[in-house]
Amino acid sequence: MKNNSTHYVENPDWNNICLVCGTRYQDAMPESCAICNDERQYVPPTGQKWTSYVAMSRANTIRIGNPLPDVYDLRISPAFGIGQLAHLVVSPGGNLLWDCIPFIDEATIAFIRSKGGLRGIAISHPHYYSLMKAWADAFECPVYLHQADKQWVLDGSDRVRFFEGAKQVLWDGMEIVHTGGHFAGSTILHAPQTGKEGSVFAGDTLQIAPSRQFISIMYSYPNVIPLPVSKILSIAGIVNPLAFDSMYGAFEWQKIHTGAKEIFTRTIARYEEIYGHG
Ligand SMILES: [Zn+2]
Ligand SMILES: [Zn+2]
């Protein structure tokens, strides 16, 4: 479905987008992208490149999946930037967009409006801040981010609500849970009302392996930089008390429809077996 995005094409605020990670810069484009130059991301051998909303709207649409009756996943098609999914959690008290993608179009806005719009947006960590300001403006809703990653907000907005501490309680039992690890402010979403016995939306705070039998917890996934085992065990201590049976990560294959808690427990036991307790 081709989008009808004239209104947005005319908005110059939506340009200055890093072609590699999808981060949108509010001010003039810098020489290089701060996110891509950080040791958790990378600048490809072909070098730093930028794009604009105009260029993206000529080539991209948003594909919408439906992994659970009340959950939709959104992905830019063809794949763009990091290639992450955002998840729309449809809930009686209001819908939440978990994580964000660096594109938006009229067809997707209309789809989300048909489900009741958005009450809020929550983003796991700076790699997915992307086009959050445009999304928040389109739905006139707040964006919940952890205070510990404030320095990485490169496209600020009055709609951003920073929270501190262990969690941000939302509505319908949903909570944004702070774990740290990948970034100081990395979070996961616990949605107890979705799936059979609750779901965790992991961003890449917890990385579901391609086999869907293991979940890794690292400082950088593309650069394969580990975390100390003490940190992994402290994150496990935060995740373990949550009730969940399904887990959804930031990438297409990262869907564990059932048995996710058991897989998480097994993964942590494996870390302990190999590395001890740090
Ligand atoms: Zn970048
Ligand atoms: Zn990341």
The structure tokens listed for 131 are 């086009």
Domain at 37, CATH number: 3.60.15.10
Quote the tokens at residue 103: 């594109």
The domain tally of the chain equals 1
- Alpha helix segments (H runs only) across 66-186: 106-114, 132-139
Residue type for 276, please?
G
116: pLDDT strictly greater than 70: yes
Query: Would 105 be classed as within a structural domain?
Result: yes
Least confident of 21-25, 49-53, 170-174: 49-53
Cα 26 to middle of ligand 2, angstroms = 21
- The residue assigned the tokens 């081709």 is 2
39 lies in some domain: yes
Strand partners, 98: 87, 122
pLDDT number for residue 9: 44
Ligand 1 centre to CA of 90 (Å) is 30
Q: State the distance from the centre of ligand 1 to the C-alpha of 157, rounded, in angstroms.
A: 19
Average the pLDDT over 257-272 and give the result: 97
Query: Residue 13: which domain range?
Result: 6-275
Whether omega before 126 lies within 30 degrees of 0, making that bond cis, reads no
CA of 41 to the centre of ligand 1 (A): 8
CA of 85 to the centre of ligand 2 (A): 12
Question: Looking at the CA of 43, which ligand is closest?
Answer: 1
**Residue 99 placed within a domain:** yes
| 8 A C-beta contact, residue 138 and residue 104 | yes
Distance 84 CA to ligand 2 centre (A): 9
CB within 5 A of ion ligand 1: which residues?
18, 20-21, 23, 33, 35-36
Nearest C-alpha neighbor of 75 from the set 65, 128, 123: 65
* Any domain includes 1: no
In a domain, 32, yes or no: yes
- CA of residue 204 to ligand 2 center, whole Å: 5
Give 45-73 pLDDT, tens digit per residue.
998 888 988 889 899 999 999 999 999 99
Question: Using one digit for the tens of pLDDT, what is the confidence trace for 7-20?
Answer: 444 555 567 899 99
Neighbours of 34 (CB within 10 A): 16
Q: Is residue 3 pLDDT above 60, yes or no?
A: no
227, part of any domain: yes
pLDDT of residue 8: 47
Q: How many angstroms separate the alpha carbon of residue 81 from the centre of ligand 1?
A: 8
Residue 49 CA, ligand 1 centroid: distance in Å: 9
Q: What is the pLDDT of residue 15?
A: 76
Is residue 248, in this structure, part of any structural domain at all? Answer: yes
Q: Is the pTM of this model over 0.75?
A: yes
